Amino acid sequence: MKRASVKQLGQSPFVNMGPIELRQPIPTRSIEMVDPFVLLHHYGPYEISAESNPFDLGPHPHRGFEPITFLIQGEQLHRDSLGNESVVKSGDVQWTTAGRGIIHAEGPTKEFVERSGTLEGIQLWLNLPASKKMMPANYQHVRDEDFPVFQGEDGLSSVQVIAGELDELQGKIETQTPVNAYMIKLKEGAELNLPLAQSHYSLLYLLHGAVNVNEQYNLMEKADQLVTFEQDGDGFTLKATADAQLLFLSGEPFHEEIASWGPYVMNTQTEIMEALRDYQMGKMGYLSATAG
């Protein structure tokens, strides 16, 4: 295996979104995007209770990309204008293809709020190419236990294959473009080699713990938490210096112009204006403010 060079180290600064404070490793001043991934939010851990529930996102629209949730801890209710209503639990993944338009809402379930608990997750925005931005909307929800898992030889590492493939294991998510998404868990002392598709742009984000990348770069919580890779190798190595959890993403880049505003990711400002108009006209569907 030829190790791919680390292109950039990135931090995960806090940003405010209304009442919510969360980490935003993409975009930042130094890393605008990792084509085709345009936004990465790490929300929580929040202590949710009847007295404190900041993460309750009412109905809102999307167009032109795929908003994806990797739930790390807790329990969320998803509802959308396609008629889907599902409870997403710890380890589950919900993969929404907004396409030409969808309205959805998500937040902790009433039961979770009543009994209190910790909520944490990743919200990823995966761009769609121009040829697919106006495709019909779709929703996928895959439970934690249904994903295939690659086990490291040392017995200290596991890789959940969410999308794409690894060692002949196929992810359960159907993707619109070539994408690999893995959730990696390492015990302290674990050593793991993972392959890279050289045609992809790739990134690695540390959720928890500490890990050394390519025997050279250290990722630690509240310090450098993100690395992006050059396309000059076919793999990379990890060594955990503490128990760690990481998200790995890679995808075929589009190299297309992007115009984004609020919940829309398109190719031109004209298309953004059309999205605003279509939402106001009800062309993205309807969703009530409350479940049921």
For 18-42, the pLDDT digits (tens) are: 788 999 999 999 999 999 999 999 9
DSSP-derived 3-state class of residue 209: coil
- Asked whether the predicted pLDDT for residue 54 surpasses 80, the reply is no
Query: Is 232 part of any domain?
Result: yes
| Residues 178-207 pLDDT 10s | 999 999 999 999 999 999 999 999 999 999
CATH number, position 139: 2.60.120.10
* CA gyration radius, the chain: 19
| Residues 133-153 pLDDT 10s | 999 999 999 999 999 999 999
Q: What is the pLDDT at residue 17?
A: 84
Residue 140 CB burial class (10 angstroms; 0-12, 13-18, ≥19): middle
The predicted model scores a pTM of 0.96
User: What mean pLDDT is reported for the chain?
Assistant: 96
Q: What is the pLDDT at residue 292?
A: 59
Structure tokens at 186: 């390492």
Query: Is 52 part of any domain?
Result: yes
Query: Is 289 part of any domain?
Result: no
Pairing of strands 217-220, 157-163: unpaired
Q: What is the pLDDT at residue 52?
A: 85
Query: Is 1 part of any domain?
Result: no
Query: Is 18 part of any domain?
Result: yes
Number of folded domains that form the chain:
1
Residues 6+ apart with CB under 8 A from 136: 99, 100
| Residues 257-276 pLDDT 10s | 999 999 999 999 999 999 99
